[in-house]
Amino acid sequence: MAVQSIGEYPIIMKDSVDKFHGNQLVYLYWYGHRVVSSPRAFPLPPEMPFGAIISDLIPVTYKIEPDFEFLDFDKTEVIWEIDGKIIVPDFSKSLKDNGVGHKSFIKFITPSLTGKVGA
């Protein structure tokens, strides 16, 4: 259908990376967990080490989940997906170096921790 207009229709990229003061948008989702009502969004420096996701972002977001207390990144099996591709991240390297770009979607899956509440 494309946009109908009389005259030129401008291309306005409302969320282009230059608008975020040096940060980029990154989204985070603990697969299968529903207490946290949706994946979350963060403005992060591309140079931030990937490890900060584990030390800072995941706890502040997911500590409310009932199985969070069992999440131990040294012991629990975690499968990481960045923009749909399974990746083994290097936690000491930056987001950028791990392939996390502007508006990337990071999903982590823990087969032993399924997020079930009750049933």
Provide the binding-site residues for another protein, judged by CB under 8 A: 1-6, 9, 11-16, 19-21, 23, 25, 27, 29, 31-43, 57, 60-61, 64, 66, 83-84, 102-105, 114-119
Sign of CA dihedral 59, 69, 106, 37: negative
Positive or negative CA dihedral for 44, 13, 87, 116?
Answer: positive
> 37, 93, 81: which is closest to 61 by C-alpha?
37
The smaller minimum CB distance to another protein, of residues 21 and 75, is found at: 21
Least Å distance between CB 96 and another protein?
15
Between 31 and 73, name the residue whose CB sits nearer to another protein.
31
Specify the residue for token string 């990071």: 106
Q: Between residues 19 and 90, which has the closer beta carbon with respect to another protein? A: 19
